[in-house]
Each structure stands twice: as C-alpha cells, then as structure tokens.
Structure 1
Amino acid sequence: MKLLMLCREPRLYSCRRLKQAAEENGHHMDILDPNRCLIKLQQNPPHFALYYQPDVESTPYLLPQYDAVLPRFGTGSMQMGCAVLHYFQALNVPCLNHADAFAKARDKWLSLQLLLANGIAVPTSLLGGLETKANDAVQHIGTPIILKTLSGSQGIGVVLAEQPQSAVSMLETLKQANVPTLAQEFIAEAQGADLRCFVVGERIVAAMQRIGQRGEFRANCHRGANAEKVILTEQEKHIALNATKALGLDVAGVDLIRSANGPLVLEVNASPGLEMIEKTSGIDIALQMILYLEQKHC
C-alpha cells in the first residue's frame, strides 16, 4: 500500500516507528504536514484534488493517490488536518481515525458529554461561560480542584488548585484571557497515578500505569511520570473499549483513573504516543496499527 501520515513533526518517535513498521511490511509511507496542503474543489472532473507545498518558496505539486491515511496531527493542525481527512473520506480512502471522531476526542468537554451519554463514568466536571462567576464554579466542584484548558495536551494546561481562593484566582485569570476551561473534581485516592489503555480496533493491545513524580499530580510521561506494566481488570478493559467506541475511534489512548467509586475515564486521546507504552509493555504497537490498517483497506 501507499500510505500517508499527516504529521507536522516526522522526527517524533511515534512517526518514525509507524513508518518503520509500514516499510517492514512492504508498504511505502509519506509523512506530510497538513498545514502545507491545498485542497481544490471544482465542478469538472476530477472534483477533488490535493496539492502539497513543502515550503513557501516551492510551487505546490499534486499529491498521488493513497491507499490509507494515518492522522497524527496536534491541536495546531486540527482545522486543516480534519479537512484533509474529510477529503480522503469523500474518496472512500480508509483513515485511522475519521475526522469527526478525531475532532470529538480533541474537544475535552464534548468527549466527556459523549462518554457520560454512553454510560461511561467520568469525574464530576463543570464548564462555565465567560460571563459566569468563577467562585460559583469552584463551589459546585469543591477543592482541591483540577482546572483544564480545553485545548491542552501532554499535561500542559492542567493545574491543581488546593484552596478556594487560588482556584477562583486561576479561573478568573483564564476567563480574562478568554481561555475556555473546565473544572473537574480531584481524585485524591489515585495518588497521582493513572492508566493508559492503547486500543486498536476492538482490542486493547497494551496498557501501562503512569505514576507522577513526587509532588506532581499529573501522570503524563511528558511531565516526568514513571511507567510500569499493569494488569487491567475486566471492568477497566470493558470501559476502555466502550469509551473508544463511544467516540467512534479506531485507535485511541484511553486514560483511566482508579477512584473509590470505581474506574473513571479522564480522557480519550485520538493520537496517542507510542514511545513510553511500547518501551514499558514490550509490545510492537506500531505493527498492530499497520496490520489493522491493512484490514481496513481490504
């Protein structure tokens, strides 16, 4: 197959691993920045055309036909990345994941709503408009409280406020800066740890437990967390698979937290990183993704 990965940074571990796995399976893979794409729509056939401009000095060139697409773009490429995915979906080219599912997962608030609507437990959360009082939002959740910007990733844009005064001050500052933010209950009993479940198709291919550094409530590996192998309970497996299905994703990194009332879904990542979980689990996840993409193409 001729594969396309949509990614702004081909040097990332995940991109290099997926390209390696594709080539070892006899496929060719291009890695292109969606923000450098030009989509042309026209009345006369062909109705769709996709061009690529490597740099501002270059003339855009027509891209070839691709057999399948892997989206690996971040929040800075969401609009154009999803537009390119819609382009390929209109041509019935398999995409791992589809544009609508990708967008749902990237919207932290919408994804929480969809999860809860599908019977999947999430932490108590609150989203307030810019004209609402920060004090009321904090009182509804209580302290300690987690504040999350809707566009953050890798633990960036997530803060813990332990006292009401500091929580109100942080929320007021974010509102003043016009940064949409949700408030969420703090699960103290998790002790700075969470679970990452890597789902491909309808299977959990790998899992790990992430443990935050001493004094750090975030369990993201980019924030220095340690990772170790973990055995998921049947309930946790069921929740991770249902969360992936609820958002319509083919591939997902489902983050769970073990609370006193059972597992809760913190977030579902549509473009989960491979490095830490491959090294922790010893599983070739990149290969699993390529094999699944082969099945979708058939």
Structure 2
Amino acid sequence: MQGWILFFHDLEPGIPEVPEILRFREAAGQLGIALAIYKPQLFDLIVGGGHDDWSLRYDGLPVQRPDFVLCRTGAETDYSTLALLRQLERRGVRLINGATTIELVADKLHTMQKLARVGLPVPRTMLGRFPFDAALVERELGFPVIVKTLQGTRGAGVLKCEDRAQFEDLAGLLESARAQADFVLQHYIRASHGRDVRILVVGGRVVAAMERRSLTGGFKSNVSLGGIGTAYNPPPEMADIAIKAAAALDLDVTGIDILFDETGYRICEANSAPGFQGLERASGADLPAIILSWIRDTQDRAPGAPSARAEEGAIVDLVFAGRSRLDQLVDTSASYDRFAIAIGWRLIGAGLSALGHATLPRILIDRRGGRGRLLRGLYEDRAVPVQQLLEQDEQERTLISVLAVAVWAAIMPWLAGAEPMISGMLSLVALLFPATFLLTAPAGRARRLLQKPGAEA
C-alpha cells in the first residue's frame, strides 16, 4: 500500500509540525505502508489536452499514483494545494481530508455557519468588517469578546478584548494599519476560560481526547502555547457533538475543540490537520498508527463515497441516543449475540415509540421532546441533532408530568377510602417518583431545571 503526506516544509527540527510527520513515517513503516512526503508546491498540474491517463510530475519527475493522500497543510492550505487535491480526487485517489472540506474548515466563519445550520452548538459569532461598530458588537455579543482571524492555527491570530474601550483601541489600530486580514468576533464563553477539550475523531469515532488548561491564567489553552494537556474521557453528549461536527464538515480525520458552558458544550473550532503531540502524550495512544490503520482497513470502500447522510445520523439518535452510545455498545458487548440482543431491544423500543407518536392522542405525546423532534425532522427531510434525549426543556416538561401523576396517585387511596396506614404508604411511594427523577442521573438535573433558560456562559 502506498500513500503520500502533503507537507509544505523541509523536515527540519525547528518546525513545530515536523515531529508529527516523522511519527507518521515511523508508524507507516511498522504497518508496512510505503509513505512518501511531498511538498504540494513542487507538483506540475496539466489538465486537458487528451491526457486521460495518470500524468503527474513532482519536481520535474514522474510519480506513481498513490492509494491515498493524507494532507497535513491545514489552515495554511493555498490555492495550488487545493488544485492538486482536486486533480488527485478526479483521478480517483482517496483523500484524507478532501479539498472541499479543507477549504471549508480553513475558514472559521464558514465552519461556524455549517455547524450552526445543522443545529450544533457554537458560540455566537459575527463577521468583523471595517469600520467596526462597537455598539453593535456590544449589543449582539457583549464584552469580553474574542477576535479571530478567519484563518489561523495553534492559537495564533486570536485576541480577547475585555471591554468596549479596549475593542475600540484594537479596531482603531487595525484600521490605521489598513489590515488586510478578515476577522470574526465571538461571544466569550466565560465558563471555559483557559480550558477546553480536544477530541480526535477518526472515521466517525472518538479515538482520543484531552483536556487542555492554561498554566498562565490566560484564556488560551493550546498546548503549543504552554498549556497542559491531560487525558480526558468525554461524556457521551460531548462525544456526540464531536462526531456530528466531523460528519457535518465531512472530515475523516479531525480534531474538534469543545468549550464548556454552564448549560452544556459549544464547538470552538475544527481542524483538518490536527496537531497531536500533546494529545499523544496525554492519552498514551499511538495516534499515527490508529489513523493509518483506519485508512488501511477502510481502503476498499468506493473512492469518493459520500459521508453518511444527516438523516442516517438522526436515525442513530432516535434509536441509540447518539453515535457515541452506539460505539460504546459495540465496545462493551462481550459477544456478538449480546450485541445483537441489545440492538434488537433498542430497535423494538424505538419502533414502539414511533408507533406511540402515530397512534396515541396528541395530549399524551410530547411532540417537542427528543424523539418527537427527530421524527418530525425525518418526516420533513431535515436533520434535527439532539444533544440529549432529555434536554433541559424536556426534563422540565417530564418533571411536571411525573409530578401531576404522582400527586393524583397519592390522593387516590384517600378518595377510595382505604385504611389510613395503607393510604399513607401508597402516597409516600407515589411521591417518591418525582423525588427520584430529580436526584438520579443525569447529574445536576435539579440544578439545571432551576436555572433560567438561555443563561449566559
């Protein structure tokens, strides 16, 4: 099996990404994969002229067609690299990741637009344009506010303006310098100050994660800027967000950065060529071997096969409450028979739920709940991602329903004229249900129910 890595630079020690390229080369040798490292700017592209066969030259010499190409140019990807990737894709070469995807992810605003369109949680974001309107920024995003260049990597090109005066100073400086870069402005997630989670998704599965923390008290947590990374086991809701983000952006291999807020999580950004030195140290996993093994094991799939449709993801949500829970079911099943039984019961449960939504009186069906929204989304041919089947508003409605039934069950024995001791015992048992609902998993349910909807992070 032959593969290429596209990388802009010479393999010199002073370049931060070089150790990762060398790790790929080491892992490829152990897996028996011939891996060549090429600079995309040295390829000659010829289109048309009746040449339908493979005809590509590198630094003036012909090169053989690879089985796959792993692009490690990230946010620095330029037009010539995208042109090369499109040419390779047209010739049937498998790309990890593709040209369209890399171009999308390199643009932070486009990434946020794509994620928001499918309902995934992102910080409130707006495009910065000259002259900056500080009043509009204060009204829409508030202060502090995060200022980012549209393209950047390893935390470069990211600033925090603490207040309106500081923002106006920065805007004036950029305008006077006639800055050519484009900027995005984002709401500052206070609960995630100096802290986030990097999740590595490979082939639609979470393979490693680390929590990153700043050691200086600053708001940036990047390991490349002196932050510290520790192994992290993401909760199912966080893992589902990362998996759905990778699917929405059509990323085969990606690092998804997740911020904490007081009501859940938000996607900070996605990376098409994620750095993994800190993640590998934190997790202890051989990440290049994991990535290359996945490429090798899935190489027989049809070239250019599209990613799973959003509707398929919604069905996974409907039946299994998220892709990460399905993966967890696969990993924890001791045998194929147990796995098949577990799948069968979940399919039966989802089927009965769907039949209930169709046949029971509307007053008995919560059509705004997780299953109701998913079914309605499938019917209307649009994806409705659900972070949790019991979200905050659904928990509140469920609690009200449980309370009403419990109160009615508590007074029924007294109305029926039962013995006082029996009536008291039955009433106590009935009232235990709402108490149990509040005190059991998911943790913090009672606290979240008492919070005001839409509380700021």
TM-score by length of 1: 0.93
Alignment of 1:259-298 (within 5 A): 259-298=261-300
Residues of 2 paired with 1:224 and 1:132: CA distance?
Answer: 32
- Paired amino acid for 1:159: L
The alignment partner of 1:31 has SS state of strand
Please state if 1:234 is matched with 2:236.
yes
Please state if 1:18 is matched with 2:20.
no
Name the stretch that deviates more: 6-15 or 179-188: 6-15
Specify whether residues 76 and 257 from structure 1 end up closer, same or farther in structure 2 by C-alpha distance, changes over 3 A only: closer
Relative contact order (alpha carbons < 8 A, sep ≥ 6): 1 or 2 greater?
1
Residues of 2 paired with 1:61 and 1:135: CA distance?
Answer: 58
8 Å contact from structure 1 (residues 41, 49) kept in 2: no
Instruction: Give unmatched runs, 5+ long, in structure 1.
Output: 54-59
Q: Cα deviation per residue 1:62-116 (whole Å; 9 max; x = unaligned)?
A: 2221111000014343322221111111111111111111111111000000001
8 Å contact from structure 1 (residues 130, 178) kept in 2: no
Aligned to 1:78: 78
Aligned to 1:88: 88
Aligned to 1:200: 202
- Paired amino acid for 1:86: R
Aligned to 2:254: 252
- Paired amino acid for 1:231: N
Residues of 1 paired with 2:137 and 2:41: CA distance?
Answer: 37
8 Å contact from structure 1 (residues 5, 29) kept in 2: yes
Residues of 2 paired with 1:267 and 1:142: CA distance?
Answer: 20
Residues of 2 paired with 1:172 and 1:113: CA distance?
Answer: 28
- Higher helix fraction: Structure 1 or Structure 2? 2
The alignment partner of 2:298 has SS state of helix
TM-score by length of 2: 0.62
8 Å contact from structure 1 (residues 202, 241) kept in 2: yes
Aligned to 1:154: 154
Please state if 1:67 is matched with 2:67.
yes
8 Å contact from structure 1 (residues 41, 47) kept in 2: no
8 Å contact from structure 1 (residues 200, 250) kept in 2: yes
Aligned to 2:41: 35
Aligned to 2:4: 4
Q: Deviation of residue 28 (structure 1)?
A: 0.9
Aligned to 1:168: 168
Aligned to 1:120: 120
- Higher strand fraction: Structure 1 or Structure 2? 1
Q: Deviation of residue 174 (structure 1)?
A: 3.3
Residues of 2 paired with 1:17 and 1:163: CA distance?
Answer: 43
Q: Deviation of residue 26 (structure 1)?
A: 0.8
Residues of 2 paired with 1:180 and 1:67: CA distance?
Answer: 37
Q: Deviation of residue 135 (structure 1)?
A: 4.4
The alignment partner of 2:294 has SS state of helix
Q: Deviation of residue 236 (structure 1)?
A: 0.2
Q: Deviation of residue 48 (structure 1)?
A: 5.5
CA RMSD of aligned residues (A): 1.6
The alignment partner of 2:221 has SS state of coil
Residues of 2 paired with 1:171 and 1:135: CA distance?
Answer: 13
Q: Cα deviation per residue 1:16-71 (whole Å; 9 max; x = unaligned)?
A: 11111111111111111111222111322336632222xxxxxx112221111000
The alignment partner of 1:297 has SS state of coil
- Paired amino acid for 1:140: E
Residues of 1 paired with 2:191 and 2:4: CA distance?
Answer: 43
- Count of residue correspondences: 292
Residues of 1 paired with 2:66 and 2:83: CA distance?
Answer: 16
The alignment partner of 2:260 has SS state of strand
Q: Cα deviation per residue 1:241-267 (whole Å; 9 max; x = unaligned)?
A: 000000001000000011012100000
**Candidates 184, 197, 221, aligned match of 1:219:** 221
8 Å contact from structure 2 (residues 146, 160) kept in 1: yes
- Paired amino acid for 2:240: H
Specify whether residues 173 and 50 from structure 1 end up closer, same or farther in structure 2 by C-alpha distance, changes over 3 A only: farther
Name the stretch that deviates more: 139-148 or 200-209: 139-148
Residues of 2 paired with 1:50 and 1:269: CA distance?
Answer: 28
The alignment partner of 1:41 has SS state of coil
Specify whether residues 21 and 143 from structure 1 end up closer, same or farther in structure 2 by C-alpha distance, changes over 3 A only: same
**Candidates 186, 189, 192, aligned match of 2:191:** 189
8 Å contact from structure 1 (residues 42, 48) kept in 2: no
8 Å contact from structure 2 (residues 132, 171) kept in 1: no
Specify whether residues 79 and 69 from structure 1 end up closer, same or farther in structure 2 by C-alpha distance, changes over 3 A only: same
Aligned to 1:56: none
Identity of aligned residues (%): 27
8 Å contact from structure 1 (residues 138, 167) kept in 2: no
